[in-house]
Structure formats: C-alpha cells, structure tokens
A and B are shown apart, each in its own frame.
Chain A
Amino acid sequence: MVGFRAMNTEVLVAVPAMSAAEESDIAQRLAAVFEESERRCSRFRPESELSRLNRAAGTVPVSPELFEHLARAQTYTALTDGLFDPAIGGTLTALGYDRSFASGRMDRPAGATPIPHGSMLDVILDPVTCTVRRPPSVQLDLGGLVKGATVDRAAAMLPASGFVDAGGDAVLRGAGPDGAGWLVEVEDPRDARRHLVTLVLRDAAVATTAPNRRRWRIGGRDVHHLIDPRVADAADSDLAQVTVVAPCAEQADVLAKTAFLEGARAARARLLPLSGVGGVLVLRDGAVELVGAVEVSHD
C-alpha cells in the first residue's frame, strides 16, 4: 500500500498483485491525476481554473474537463431537487471556510452573515462553445464532486484488483486480495478510533459524509462544511453520518451528501430504490441503520 497527500487528505493506493516498486510507480501516476484535478478545480488555489471562473464576469470559455464537471454537477442538482448544489461556495466563504481546512485554525470571533445564493441550475452551460455564464450570486465549490470523480478516474488506471482511497472516498476494484471482498470499516463519528460496522465490497465505491471533522467556531457558534442550500447555512440534520456504497465514487459522494442534508427518513427513501446502492446511516442518537444493498462482515 502506498500513500500520498492530495486534496488536503491522505490518498492510499493498493494493488495486491503488484510488487512494492510497481505499486509506487502507479501511485506516482495517480498522484499526478489528483494534482491535475486540484490545479484545475480547487476553490482554494487562486490560480485554478475554477477560481478564475468564480472571479470572472460574463460568459467565459472553460476547459472541456471543467465543463464536464459543471455539467454533471448541474445534473446532480436537478436530480436531488437542489439539495446537492455546488453553488454554495459563497456561503462557505461567509462562514469562514475560505481556505484549505486546517483543524483549530478556522475559528473566527465573528463572521459575515450568510447571504442567499443562486443555484447551480442558474449557471448557463453551452456545450457547443464550451463556455459558462455564472450569475454573480453563485460561487462554485466542486470539492466533493471532483474528489469523487478523481478517485473514479484514478481507479480506472488500476489493474483488475486494487483500490484508491482518498480520505474515505474509495473505489475498490475486484473482490479483494483473497477473493472474498474488500473490507471497509465505517468509522464511528463520535470516536475515530472505533468503527461501527465492516462492509464487504466488490467492484464498488464508498463515500462518507459527516460534520465531525470539518467543524469550527465562528461568531460564537459551531458550524461545519455541510451546507444546506435551502437555508444557506450549516445543515442541522438528524443524522450524524452517512456512508453510501455505489457503483462509482462520484455518485457515492453526491448521494451521501444529499442523504445527510435531507435526513434519515428521506435518505432511506432515496437510497433504497437505487440499483447497486446501499448505505449506513448513523443517527444522532447513535443508532446505526443499514439501507439497501450492503453486505456486512461479522468479523
């Protein structure tokens, strides 16, 4: 297993059939993929293409790669009735999340009042000219979406058996080293040293959303990075954590975030009908629920 840092998290790569040298070699190539995504889509790099778009006025041309991300983001926003909405960048900035997260260094004595923001659906995308027109009220934050997409892209470069894990967003190819499935521990959001359940995954992706890590204080109150677009503020969910298993990491990430924002009842209803999708819901009272197609290891 080889690790490197990207997107403000540790990325782990494992390919059981490879030698340590081969594994390191492929990890180097995957690191380049992550770096390219970050260089293009990070909200925290002023020179990134996304940052330039967030500053630009009027209609601007963008790269096909960024255009693809934006087009898919718009689709997800429509599919989730606006719950998953990358147009929340302005709210995050107003709450103090205006730089790469560093625990303990985000606190502010006072913060700007969150302002109502536009929707991703207000962004005009022209696939013919590959141009974007962004309303002034929309500041885009593609964080989770791009991370999921990058994990998917990196995993596609692996042989038939292996995994890429970017801080909990993971794609696991094949059926694990012994053919019995990859074991994925779902962390306990109240105690990171423990895990609540171990999932068995084969050719699947997993992503987890919780407000337990990216938390800070601003203006005397606790906030976190999961913004509810309906109220333009940190979400107040009856869930403490959502883990989603899906065919790809991008979908898992979008579903986990959406499920967290809409709460347990709606999350069950959303996840259950989806083919190849399952989840682990952790309620704020500590209860753990398995939803849909998830296999659990009783080790």
Chain B
Amino acid sequence: MMTTERTTSAGRVSPRLTATAGEWRLLLTGLLASIYATAWVGFGMHLPARAGSAVSGEPPVADAAVWLDDLPAAERPVVRIPPGWQMAARPVAPAAERVPVPRHARLRVRTRSS
C-alpha cells in the first residue's frame, strides 16, 4: 500500500554556508586548473599556422626534421647509436603523381633518305 507523507517548511534543514578545509582545497585546485587551461588555449590560438593549414596565407614553415642524407657530407654530424639500435630508414617516397606530359617530351626525329 502506497502512503504519502506531508512535510512542512518548519521541518527542513537549513543550508550549510561553511566548507571544510578539504572542500576549499578542491575548489582552489579547480579554479587554478581552469585558468591554466584557458591560458593555453588562448596561447595556442596565436601560434602561426602550420604548413598545409587550410587557413594559411603565410609561407609554409620549414619542417624542423632533417634527414642526415639531406645534409652535405661535410655537415653531417657523427651519430653514435646504442648497440641494438638502428638508424631509421627514410620512408619510401610515394609513387609520383601523373602529370600532363609536356607537349615535346617524347619528340623524336626519324632520319631517312628522302
């Protein structure tokens, strides 16, 4: 059997306005984290666009990575790698895209008696 119980305002517990020390620490930590995150987001929005960005109107930024064999022989640093390690191989270049063949690329002359 269902029953209902009517309560009166006089019967409610009034809200507590004080917090424990642990609760204050938690609140402060959250606040600092929010400020930190907001600052990073704002900072990131002012970084220059990366190469390939759809919105980039500026010259592409050079890739910071340089392959050793891209450097002139005299400028290549001596790299010692721990035993068991090996140098990374340069990724194989993807197949060249087909481009329109220049009009004269396959020009040949036929010499004959005439």
**Chain A interfacial positions (CB closer than 8 Å to B):** 1, 8-9, 12, 14, 16, 20, 163, 165-170, 172, 176-178, 182-187, 189, 192, 195, 198, 206-214, 241, 243
In B93-112, the 8 Å CB interface with A consists of 102-105, 107-112
Residues A165 and B107 in contact in the complex (CB < 8 Å), given A16-B102, A177-B102: no
Q: How large is the interface on B (under 10, 10 to 19, 20 to 34, 35 or more residues)?
A: 10 to 19
A165-B111 Cα distance, complex, nearest whole Å: 8
The CA of A182 and the CA of B97, in the complex, are separated in Å by: 25
Structural contact, A176 and B110, CB atoms closer than 8 A: no
B105 proximity list for chain A (CB < 8 A) = 177-178
Given contacts A16-B102, A177-B102, contact A189 B107 (CB under 8 A): no
| CB contact between B109 and one of A9, A178, A184 (< 8 Å): that residue | A184
Is the pair A209, B107 in contact by a Cβ cutoff of 8 Å?
A: no
Question: Is there an interface contact between B111 and A14, defined as CB atoms closer than 8 Å?
Answer: no
Given contact pairs A16-B102, A177-B102, A187 touches B110 in the complex (Cβ within 8 A):
yes
A209 CA to B114 CA, complexed, in Å? 8
Give 5 closest A-B pairs by Cβ, nearest first: A167-B114, A210-B113, A16-B104, A187-B112, A168-B112
**5 extra A-B contacts, CB within 8 A, seeds A8-B114, A178-B105, A208-B112:** A166-B114, A176-B107, A183-B107, A183-B109, A184-B108
CA distance A148 to B17 in the complex (A): 110
> Nearest chain-A residue to B113 (Cβ)?
A210
- Residues of A close to B111: CB separation below 8 A: 165, 168-170, 184-187, 206-208, 243
Q: Closest B-chain residue to A225, C-beta based?
A: B113
- What chain B residues lie within 8 Å of A176 (beta carbons)? 107
Q: CA–CA, A16 to B105, complex, Å?
A: 8
